[in-house]
Structure 1
């Protein structure tokens, strides 16, 4: 049984080994057309394939635009910089602290986008 998710705005996480490849061509194969037509071009300059934090910068900036422009019900985002940093430098060190600080700043940008879009809500369970 195949899955048929109702996904309106998708930007694929792509880790292509060839830096010479055109990112747009690869992203178009697995990302939503509406994103490719409106948001991708604004932020594709961040893409530098497997290098972090560049891919996360691309993802966060796209996420902020999607939130502000489309006010979707749910967004999932994977930020790889912390994982990438821990694999390269270990668990507890200055590089990891820098990556945590970047993640905190990016989360702040995403939260601010929800406030700007009028969709920010605090849920207390």
Structure 2
């Protein structure tokens, strides 16, 4: 006894397409996904960036859910602090004003990239699956 995975994938895609026809519900799940993704980034940021106080930890935000021009629903997770891009991508280490001599390069932590990959691999699929089950129970 077994189940055909290909048929299940087509059915899931069909359900997702039908569920996107209900914009209120789609925005709702995107907000939930964004909130969980923001929390993932915050916890990874606290673990990888040693300085706990400061704007970096308080800067994690979730934007509004919106519908893109291609018809897909999206939500933005970002860090609004000034130093966030330096921590994410890395930066030069430069001395004081008179000489401004470069002392090296601080490698980037890639906090947001790592946490979003982890979230997509682990939790996002489960959350969307549960949401599709709820939509089926409601009668879609």
| TM-score, normalization by structure 2 | 0.28
* Structure with the greater alpha carbon radius of gyration: 2
Larger RCO (alpha carbons 8 Å, 6+ apart): 2
